[in-house]
Chain A
Amino acid sequence: MAAGSRPHDPLDAFIAAAPLFQRIGMRALIALSRRRTGAALIARVPAAAQLAQVIEGLGRYDDPELARSLGWDADAVVARGRALRRAERRP
């Protein structure tokens, strides 16, 4: 799992803001999943596999390029929102 290892990873803030127990759990899962034996171990525990999938999915599919290839452009959504708020003097 590459999530959690890239500079300025979008998951960094997410994990840092989590409660202690979840923070430790998520970091342990990320570390484990980088090793072949760890990944195999995670795959044998459904709850761990599911949580790993949550972390992986949240990080991987937040990538703007990948998201755009799936029809979602966060930057465009934000730009439209800003333009609307300015034009209509919304809060």
Chain B
Amino acid sequence: MSAHDARMTAEVCVIGAGAGGAVAAAELAEGGMSVTLLEEGHWHDPDSFTARPPQMLAKLYRDASQTVTLGNPPILLPLGRGLGGTTLVNSGTCFRTPPYVLERWQREFGLEVSEESLRPCFERVEEALSVSEVTPELAGANAGVARRGAERLGWSHGYLRRNAKGCVGSGVCAFGCPTSAKQHTGITYIPRARAAGARIVTGAQVERVLVEPSRTGGRSSQRAVGVTARMAGGARVQVSAPIVIVAAGTIHTPLLLARSGLGRASGQLGRNLSLHPATAAFARMEEIVDMAKGVPQSFYVDEFAGDGIIFEGVAGPPSYAAMSLPLTGERHARAMADYRHLAQFGLMVSDSSRGSVRSVAGKALIHYELSNDDLQRFRTGLARMRELFEAAGAREVYLPLPAGVDPVRARRSDLKLMAFHPLGTARADARASEGVLDGDLKVHGAQGVYVADGSAVPSSLGVNPQMTIMALATRLAFSLLGQDFDLDNDGPGKSDGARKSVAAPA
């Protein structure tokens, strides 16, 4: 290392400050461990938020939000970058992991997780993030349109729970909350971590996790000794740590593990990518909607959740609407002239398709083909979406399909998809032959290397994943602190402050 390079020492090095990394860092630091967190992005001062999508897409997202999958159809996959990760730019929707998903994890992946065992983790996260249900007043008229349609059709629906405090419905959750109402991890867990003594390093691109040979139970293995990173200015940082928690996100965690020679034995690293592919439709209403006034994602319709289809609100300012409105030319201009009367709603599929991610010339190459089953879900979902808007009294419905294409006959290439919930590329499975991580989220065959982000999640959830990721990160932190999670204990930082033991590697 040169004279300009830096060396640090910590008990735990956390990579990534999103939903998983920030939570793990704060809980561990409050539990008394010395923590260094490395984040590739930077702190984004809310004073720099302009509520103007083009500027904010370039500023808050990786690759200006233009990460895209290869396959049929290509899918836009926006990823946040900065302190807070994607929690900085998501809609703030908070669902606990559905019980039937946890049962599947037990049955198919041998994971010891249940609704009951995760409940205190969820409660702890929800308290930290001020999670509460959106009120009808704050939800705005866009949600009102969907509610009216769902009520007329007798479809199951409700207002969403969100991590927001003092929200006034600015309408730009995805472009930087100007009121700091959204409780993303950059303004919740990161300050807690810092206050508890964690060192937070931004602008650090982690090159690899450092390991050395080890023997565990007579078998050769590897154990973590630290992390190397390169700073934006070119200097290197080396963090010596016996525990490394990788939370670089579902797309980049498998690439980092692969670069580090970790997690490859099962052949599952970088595979099993699920995305929750999504699309959105518009409707022109009689009344003024002003879709960006209110919480953009405040309402859901889960009538078809059993079929893997859920509707959730989406909305935004005119420039956002203009880029997603599925019309061209004069029809586009006419519809935009009526922007105040436009309503929009999203359709998300709990996918059975699986993709993969690998590194090509140092860049993430994401491959994902939509399966026949998921294509059918979109056909059904779009037809139902039209029903919803028509029941709400829409004068015209604009489905995201080429002109003249009926939803039931849509082909893959007709769909215009986005995705916001990549999961599964370093999936947990109790069997080392089937998964990258064990049930404690430790990399199989490596001591001291853990994963705490969406890549650990072994299957599609059918709901927004941030709470699942945060709850799993909380559970991991408590496990590393050697503390059982029980409801009578407010947590490591608020009880006696002394950890019982640290699961340091052999």
Contacts and interface: CB of A to CB of B under 8 A. Distances in A.
Nearest to B170: A77
A60 B177 CA distance: 23
Given A22-B66, A57-B322, A58-B323, A71 B170 contact: no
B296 interface: no
Contacts of B323: 53-55, 57-58
Interface string A29-62: 0000000000000010010011001111111111
Interface in B324-362: 324-329, 332, 336, 339-340
B204 interface: no
Interface string A64-77: 00110011101001
B332 A90 contact: no
Nearest to A26: B66
Interface in B157-181: 166, 168, 170-172, 177-181
Contact of B292 (A16, A46, A56, A72): A72
B321 A90 contact: no
B71 interface: no
Nearest to A20: B363
Interface range on chain A (Cβ under 8 Å from partner): 35 or more
A42 to B, nearest CB: 10
A74 B320 CA distance: 12
Interface of B: 46-47, 49-55, 57-59, 63-64, 66-68, 166, 168, 170-172, 177-181, 187, 191, 288, 290, 292-293, 317-329, 332, 336, 339-340, 363, 402, 416
18 contacts: A16-B64, A17-B64, A19-B363, A43-B329, A50-B326, A56-B322, A57-B319, A58-B54, A59-B54, A62-B318, A70-B318, A70-B339, A70-B340, A72-B292, A74-B51, A77-B172, A80-B179, A91-B180
Given A13-B54, A57-B322, 19 more contacts: A11-B54, A13-B58, A14-B64, A16-B64, A18-B66, A50-B328, A53-B325, A57-B319, A58-B53, A58-B54, A58-B320, A58-B323, A59-B319, A60-B322, A67-B319, A70-B318, A72-B339, A82-B178, A91-B187
